[in-house]
Amino acid sequence: MIEARSLSQVFGVGEHAHQVLTDINLFVERASITAIVGPSGAGKSTLARCINLLQQPTSGEILLDGVVASGLSDRATSKQRRAIGTIFQGSSLLRRRTALQNVMLPMQMAGLPASVQRERAAALLERVHLTARMNAYPAQLSGGQQQRVGIARALALEPKILLADEATTGLDPTTRSSILDLLRELRAEMGLTIVLITHEMDVVREIADHVVMMAQGQIIERGGTGDLLLDPESSLGRELFVPRQVAAGSGIRTYTVRYASTEVPTDWMSQLSEHVGATVAFQGASVEEVDGRTVGYVVIGIDLGLEALSDALEPLGLRAEPRDTPPNDERSAA
Amino acid sequence: MIPLGMRPMAGRTWPEIFQLLGPALGQTLQMVGIVFVIALVIGLPLAVIVHNTSPSGLFPRTTVHRTLSVIINILRSIPFLILMAAVIPFSRFIMGTALGVAGAIVPLSLAAIPLFARLIETSLREVQKPVLDAGLAASGTRWQVIFRVQLPEALPGIVGNVTIATVGIVEFTAVAGAVGAGGLGYLALSYGYSRFDGNMMLACVVVLVVIAQITQFSGDRLARALAK
């Protein structure tokens, strides 16, 4: 369980002062997977560095399992960090240590007996399927393998919290999926609370229970991933699923139809066609299952006004918006 | 002055040259050895402090960083010949003499320490921030991170740069020889140059080149063996 209470971070002093985080309040439930998303410069990484105690907030505090963990002395902070494992972006492995020795590092810092270090490190590498590469140096490992070593190292002190700062950035989609699968398994096995810092919306859809969206140092939206995806009012929900460009049909009007309920009938297109007595031209779609719910959008062409279409779609749990004007326009005008 | 090549290559016979060369080589190696140890013992911690007090270091202290940096820059900017003459009183005070090998140790160290410190600092800077963060996140204290992460990761680079600096010390000892420190530099200048003994000059140059080559070769080998 992680809690941030009115966390603020200011870098620099006087006229160079730069407010990076403003009054962040965050509560991450035990054994949940929470994604923190937002554009670069939004303060995600700074928040991550506050959570894993690499940085002291200017004001406010971090609580781990209900105990204040920020603002402690150097030594006490090092000790508190044992409760949090961090997976960094790219390779933060020590080049001159083998995979096994890298996993042993946190245990050496904590002063565990050498036999325990070796045994546990070997077990962790087995868990991330790297036993065969135990004695390889990072330069001899692929990006995905290096990230697995990073995960094993993050777990070395048996933390309750795993923080992944852009841990899948730069990996190919297959490798990324296997890393995400591993994280999901670890959560199930060890009851880990996982916080993901990412800018990849695919990652969020694939794994996160909760999403927190940041912009300019503040949390601007938060919620359950499935709920946000079904909420047509949510800008975060929209960003999680950005409609692709679709060639417009001639003579008919095109609409983006979003899933706004869990009760959408699978044959809604034929139902709609029957109901309004017009043909529905299918033009494109991106629909997937997230968190056991069907979410996404379908682009259709139909000879019908927005109002009439909306009336017909509402009972089906769908929501239409015209494609002619880009969906972003009304938002920026507001 | 008549250039070296215009004179007949007269002078001492080779056996005589080797007789003089032996002790001179001993003096040079002695100076290089002593100064190497002093420069490493003082220069390495100095580099760790200068680097880690910088804004990107593990315990940023801008004032300390700037002060040390300026002192190092000043010492680095004085040509060795002038530094040598300038510190004669200081040398006398510390070593009791400003002559011979003993007299050369102080100026040589004053030149070598900042050189070592700067070059080692450069190597430390190459250890990227995420790697240090990983050390801290692995529950290490800042000192643990210095000793278990920063220094070991920088080691191949440090060996490479210390090798360059050591070749620099060999060069300094030759200059020191010119002002009475003894060693190969003294031999080359007092016999080879002043008395137009071409063979002696040749012998000294060859030995100095060999020392530099051996140093560079072993340093490179070691650095390569350490790099993974």
Residue with tokens 């060069």: B171
For residue A155, the chain B residues in CB contact (below 8 A) are none
Among A84, A160, A78, A150, residue whose Cα is nearest residue A111: A78
Pairwise CA distance, residues A238 & A219, whole Å: 17
- Verify that A17 and A138 share a domain, yes or no: yes
Q: Please, which pLDDT band fits residue A252 given cuts at 50, 70 and 90? A: confident
Chain A positions touching B149 (Cβ under 8 A) are 94, 105
Question: Which domains are present in chain B?
Answer: 14-226 (1.10.3720.10)
Tokens of B104: 């050369």
Q: What is the pLDDT of residues B10-54, one digit of tens each?
A: 567 888 888 888 888 999 999 999 999 999 999 999 999 999 999
Pair (A206, A136) in one structural domain:
yes
Is residue A322 over pLDDT 90? no
Does B222 touch chain A if contact means CB atoms closer than 8 Å?
A: no
Of all residues in chain B, the percent with pLDDT exceeding 90 is: 55
- Out of B140, B152, B155, name the one closest to residue A109 (CB): B140
**Residue at token pair 């044959």:** A267
Does the distance separating the beta carbons of A156 and B138 come in below 8 Å?
yes
Q: Does residue A37 belong to any structural domain of this protein?
A: yes
Contacts 24+ apart (CB under 8 A), B195-201: B195/B11, B196/B2, B196/B4, B196/B7, B196/B10, B196/B11, B197/B10, B197/B11, B197/B12, B198/B4, B198/B7, B198/B9, B198/B10, B198/B11, B199/B9, B199/B11, B199/B12, B199/B14, B199/B17, B200/B11, B200/B12, B200/B17, B200/B20, B201/B4
Average pLDDT over residues B121-133: 93
Check whether residue A320 and residue A172 sit in a common domain: no
Asked if the Cβ–Cβ distance from B137 to A86 is below 8 Å, we say: yes
Question: Regarding beta strands A59-64 and A161-165, do their DSSP bridges make them parallel or antiparallel, or are they unpaired?
Answer: unpaired
A311 versus B116: which is more confidently predicted? B116
A94 and B133 in contact by Cβ < 8 A? no
The parent domain of residue A9 ranges over 2-230
B190 to B179, B195, B196, B201: CA distances (angstroms): 10, 7, 9, 9
Which tokens go with A77? 């902070």
Band of the pLDDT at A330, cuts 50, 70, 90? Answer: very low
Residue with tokens 């006229």: A15
Q: What is the pLDDT of residue A247?
A: 57
For the cut 60, the answer to whether the pLDDT of residue B5 exceeds it is no
Q: Please indicate, yes or no, whether residues A261 and A212 belong to a single structural domain of this protein.
A: no
Q: Which residue of A has its CA nearest to B59?
A: A74
In 3D space, the residue among A197, A199, A303 whose CA is nearest the CA of residue A250 turns out to be A303
Residues B147-162 have a mean pLDDT of: 96
**A153:B131 CB<8 A:** no
Structural domain ending residue among the three candidates A230, A262, A284:
A230
Q: Is the ipTM of this complex over 0.90?
A: no
Which residue from B184, B160, B154, B155 is spatially nearest to B171, judged by alpha carbons? Answer: B184
pLDDT, average across residues B101-106 = 86
Please tell me whether residue A7 adopts helix, strand or coil conformation. Answer: strand
Looking at the fold, whether A308 and A217 belong to one and the same domain comes out as no
Mean per-residue pLDDT, A295-322: 86
Sequential DSSP letters for A207-238: H-SEEEEEETTEEEEEEEHHHHHH-TT-HHHH
The pLDDT assigned to A333 comes to: 38
Asked if residue A186 and residue A90 are part of one domain, the reply reads yes
Q: What are the tens digits of pLDDT across the range A229-247?
A: 888 778 788 777 766 655 5
Pairing between β-strand A18-28 and β-strand A67-68 as defined by DSSP bridges: unpaired
Tell how far CA B136 is from the center of its chain: 33
pLDDT at res. B19 = 84
Q: Do B152 and A96 touch (CB under 8 A)?
A: yes
Nearest in space to B116 (alpha carbons), one of B38, B64, B60 = B38
Is B100:B180 a contact under the CB 8 Å cutoff? yes
Q: How many domains does chain A have?
A: 2
**The residue to which tokens 């300390």 are assigned:** B64
Q: Which of A158-162, A283-287, A324-328 has the lowest mean pLDDT?
A: A324-328
Q: Do both A139 and A271 map to the same domain?
A: no
pLDDT value of position A296: 85
Q: Which amino acid is at B156?
A: P
